[in-house]
Amino acid sequence: MQQVLQETLKYHFHASSNSMLWFANMSDSNYKKRMQRKKEHIDSRIEEANIDKGIIVLLTGNGKGKSSSAMGMICRALGYGMKVALVRFLKGEQQTGEDLFLDSNPNVVSAHMESGFTWNTQDQELDKKRANETWLEAERFLADPEINLVVLDEITYMINYKYLDEKSILKALSNRPEGQHVVITGRAASEGIIKASDTVSEVKDVKHAFRANIRAQKGIDL
């Protein structure tokens, strides 16, 4: 449903200032006609989208918001009483607001890579060992039909660093229960992960507070 709406909005509202200005200045009668055509198009696309299956959502790119978006999907799933598995690579030792919030939820299971950020450990073999230990937990979640949503946070780094075997990850994704959804986050996603995903969004870095020496803050970054 969400993808249908996104495609429709992209079709009807081109992201140029000129087209938006033209739309704002449209007469009432033309506006009504355009909205009628839009509704017909949306209704038609929704009717065509009749497949229910577990999907893989990839959130990649250099901008801020990939993990934050994944946390939003976790909250959305929990709102429907679904069971969620959160697997965090890279940020394992760093406690965040979402960790504090989710830890008490009985519908959430989690696994965190204990070493946290790789530049803190400065020990490649230890990082590789802990990445694989964390992946074993992720693999177990991906095989569990009781889990509706699995979030693999920052796993793209583990693939790019060659800490984890991409073929094993792709196999686990392919063999997961039919209705299970997966969210993958991290920069520089590989072609294999992109190809395996149903929805791919690239978050662009336009501006970031940290470059103005504003440190990470609770409720926004932590």
For the ranges 38-52, 80-94, 97-111, 200-214, which has the lowest average pLDDT?
Answer: 38-52
Calpha distance 83→147 (Å, rounded): 5
Calpha distance 149→157 (Å, rounded): 21
For the ranges 36-45, 62-71, 151-160, 168-177, which has the lowest average pLDDT?
Answer: 36-45
Q: Is the pLDDT of residue 15 over 70?
A: no
Give residue 175's pLDDT: 98
Calpha distance 19→27 (Å, rounded): 14
Give residue 214's pLDDT: 85
Q: Is the pLDDT of residue 3 over 60?
A: no
Share of the chain above pLDDT 90, in %: 56
Q: What global pTM score does this model have?
A: 0.81
Average pLDDT rounded to a whole number, residues 96-109 = 91
Calpha distance 47→15 (Å, rounded): 26
Report the CATH fold assignment for 56-212: Rossmann fold (3.40.50)
Q: Is the pLDDT of residue 212 over 60?
A: yes
